[in-house]
């Protein structure tokens, strides 16, 4: 149905049902975690009701969430309503229908939980923009240094054991890299030593445990992880150690914060959250996602990437520069395609500011003021009405040439890939940095290797990648 035809339709109520209070929410939670899994949970309900906009319960439900009821928007057309801060409020909705204790963030509601209308949101987001701008020249050399060491370790482990777990190595390397890139101070050279990633992971789990399953028996996991929030006291020591590092390492950024009118303590908690939760947490998911998709794409695709990367770097005098990276159209496309299929943050939320209508491809739905809107991003970014019969497949050159028109339907950054973050929206302030880092991973791989193989599986928060072999580069700067 075309745009004008949909717009002329009479709005109707979204189909679906919330079922019996309490009981149905728990039953749906069990479907989500154990009986169906998250993707099937949404897909089966779309199929049942014949609509991509529908009323459902979302986890965690009782007793952590006061109200699990949402209007779900599960196609590429309806999903962007979640980005429109004129239509939806974002206050305290970063994790959805529940909110972790502010004891986990120094007693402050950090930027991710603020609506753009709140004055502190503008100050913190401007701080993040200023930090990124001030450190832009540090990113490429920091990444190449840290990930060159990671790949050297991969090669050693392959010789010794015939395999190498990328996720394990990435957990440490990404923590070191992102802190080095942002602040120029290695966590491992501070009082944290090598404990930073472990402390960060524990702190992340205490915020995200309502939305994940650890693979434990249902009878253990449900009461322990999905019924009540874990007490923050159990990670307070870890958080204090992280905070101590940031307070010392981020001196220049904290000076910038004070010039913007932010309290130094509140700014430090925000920098910690933005670095550890948003940036590091994202890299823990994103980099294995990119690597896994490219591993599965096979040797012929690897050859195309290697040729493009090596040509652009050679033309830049053998250096990896921003200008060289911008010439790598296939590399950029491959990263965007991986982010389309494996978005680091799958769930988005917003509360309707007023009565409104939401359009799907085929219908118009009435939503009432105060209702919670929810989006499961993989449904929207794998929409066959936009991406065709290959919507669920990795097509590495999808966004090359005319395909770049489809970038408006890539939503991983909490906004369209064709739009830019600002203090007035909730789009990721590090959007361009994230894509840059993804491209740098591809560049580092194909300067060093002609091809590689890996087993790709599932980890706690996303893809798991285990190298099984690498073929050293036979041409270009990394040739042996």
Q: What is the pLDDT of residues 158-189, one digit of tens each?
A: 999 999 999 999 999 999 999 999 999 999 99
Residues 40-49: tens digit of each pLDDT: 999 999 999 9
Query: 166 lies in which domain range?
Result: 12-472
The verdict on residue 477 lying in a domain is: no
* pLDDT of 3 above 60: no
* pLDDT of 10 above 70: yes
pLDDT confidence of residue 459: 86
pLDDT confidence of residue 362: 95
The confidence band for 140, taking pLDDT boundaries of 50, 70 and 90, is very high
Give the range among 6-10, 40-44, 119-123 with minimum mean pLDDT: 6-10
Say which DSSP state 232 is in: G
Q: Of 326, 280, 113, 292, which is closest to residue 183 (Cα–Cα)?
A: 280
pLDDT confidence of residue 401: 97
C-alpha to C-alpha distances, 352 to 84, 97, 273, 373, 424, nearest whole angstrom:
10, 14, 27, 7, 17
The verdict on residue 35 lying in a domain is: yes
Rounded-to-integer distance, Cα 377 and Cα 380, Å: 5
The verdict on residue 465 lying in a domain is: yes
Rounded-to-integer distance, Cα 204 and Cα 174, Å: 15
Rounded-to-integer distance, Cα 336 and Cα 397, Å: 10
How many domains in the chain? 1
pLDDT confidence of residue 479: 65
The verdict on residue 111 lying in a domain is: yes
**CATH label of the domain that carries residue 447:** 1.10.630.10
* pLDDT of 111 above 80: yes
Average pLDDT over residues 214-231: 93
* pLDDT of 26 above 90: yes
* pLDDT of 366 above 70: yes
Checking 397-406 for CB contacts under 8 A at 24+ apart, the result is 397/304, 397/330, 397/333, 397/334, 398/333, 398/336, 398/337, 398/340, 399/332, 399/333, 399/336, 399/337, 400/329, 400/330, 400/333, 401/329, 403/333
The confidence band for 5, taking pLDDT boundaries of 50, 70 and 90, is low
pLDDT confidence of residue 429: 97
The predicted model scores a pTM of 0.96
Residues 406-419: tens digit of each pLDDT: 999 999 999 999 99
pLDDT confidence of residue 2: 58
The verdict on residue 1 lying in a domain is: no
The confidence band for 98, taking pLDDT boundaries of 50, 70 and 90, is very high
Residues 444-473: tens digit of each pLDDT: 999 999 999 999 999 888 899 999 999 999
Q: Are 369 and 353 in contact (CB under 8 A)?
A: yes
The verdict on residue 4 lying in a domain is: no
The confidence band for 59, taking pLDDT boundaries of 50, 70 and 90, is very high
Average pLDDT over residues 354-374: 97
* pLDDT of 374 above 80: yes
Rounded-to-integer distance, Cα 360 and Cα 6, Å: 8
Which run of H or of E encompasses 435? helix 431-448
Please state whether the peptide bond connecting residue 60 to the residue before it is cis, i.e. omega within 30 degrees of 0: yes
Residues 6 or more apart from 399 whose CB is under 8 A from it? 332, 333, 336, 337, 406, 407, 410
**Which residue in this structure is represented by tokens 């590495």?**
396
In degrees, to the nearest 5, what angle opens at C-alpha 248 toward C-alphas 244 and 251? 135
The verdict on residue 240 lying in a domain is: yes
Residues 74-93: tens digit of each pLDDT: 999 999 999 999 999 999 99
Residues 6 or more apart from 108 whose CB is under 8 A from it? 102, 266, 269, 270
The verdict on residue 302 lying in a domain is: yes
Residues 245-274: tens digit of each pLDDT: 999 999 999 999 999 999 999 999 999 999
Residues 296-343: tens digit of each pLDDT: 999 999 999 999 999 999 999 999 999 999 999 999 999 999 999 999
Q: Are 297 and 319 in contact (CB under 8 A)?
A: no
pLDDT confidence of residue 475: 77
Average pLDDT value for the chain: 96
Rounded-to-integer distance, Cα 226 and Cα 61, Å: 8
């Amino acid at each position: 149905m075309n745009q004008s035809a949909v717009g002329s339709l009479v709005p109707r109520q979204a189909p679906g049902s919330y079922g019996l209070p309490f009981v149905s929410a728990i039953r749906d939670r069990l479907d989500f975690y154990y009986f169906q899994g998250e993707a099937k949970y949404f897909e089966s309900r779309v199929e049942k009701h014949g609509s991509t906009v529908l009323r459902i319960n979302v986890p965690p439900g009782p007793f952590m969430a006061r109200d699990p009821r949402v209007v779900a928007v599960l196609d590429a057309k309806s999903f962007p309503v979640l980005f429109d801060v004129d239509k939806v409020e974002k206050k305290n909705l970063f994790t959805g229908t529940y909110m972790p204790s502010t004891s986990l963030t120094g007693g402050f509601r950090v930027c991710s939980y603020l609506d753009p209308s709140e004055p502190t949101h503008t100050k913190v987001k401007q701080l993040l923009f200023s930090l990124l701008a001030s450190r832009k020249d540090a990113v490429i050399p920091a990444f190449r240094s840290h990930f060159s060491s990671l790949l050297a370790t991969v090669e050693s482990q392959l010789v010794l054991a015939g395999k190498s777990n990328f996720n394990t190595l990435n957990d440490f390397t990404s923590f070191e890299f992102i802190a080095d890139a942002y602040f120029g101070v290695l966590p491992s050279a501070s009082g944290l030593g090598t404990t930073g990633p472990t402390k960060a992971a524990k702190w992340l789990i205490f915020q995200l445990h309502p939305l994940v399953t650890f693979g434990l028996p249902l009878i253990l996991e449900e009461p322990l992880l999905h019924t009540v929030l874990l007490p923050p006291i159990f990670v307070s020591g870890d958080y204090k150690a992280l905070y101590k590092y940031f307070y010392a390492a981020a001196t220049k950024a904290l000076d910038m914060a004070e010039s913007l009118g932010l309290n130094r303590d509140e700014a430090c908690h925000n920098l910690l959250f933005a670095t550890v939760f948003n940036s590091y947490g994202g890299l823990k998911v994103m980099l294995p996602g990119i690597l896994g998709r490219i591993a599965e794409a096979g040797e012929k695709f690897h050859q195309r990437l290697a040729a493009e990367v090596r040509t652009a770097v050679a033309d830049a005098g053998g250096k990896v520069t921003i200008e060289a990276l911008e010439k790598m159209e296939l590399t950029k496309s491959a990263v965007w395609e991986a982010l389309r299929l494996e978005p680091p943050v799958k769930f988005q939320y917003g509360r309707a500011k007023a009565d409104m209508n939401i359009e799907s491809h085929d219908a118009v739905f009435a939503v009432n003021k105060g209702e919670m809107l929810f989006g499961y991003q993989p449904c929207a970014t794998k929409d066959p009405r936009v991406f065709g019969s290959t919507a669920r497949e990795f097509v590495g050159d999808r966004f090359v040439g005319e395909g770049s028109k489809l970038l408006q339907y890539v939503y991983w950054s909490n906004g369209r890939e064709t739009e830019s973050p600002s203090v007035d929206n909730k789009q990721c302030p590090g959007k361009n940095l994230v894509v840059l880092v993804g491209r740098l991973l591809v560049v580092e791989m194909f300067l060093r290797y002609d091809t590689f193989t890996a087993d790709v599986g599932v980890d706690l928060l996303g893809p798991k990648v285990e190298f099984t072999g690498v073929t050293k580069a036979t041409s270009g700067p990394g040739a042996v």
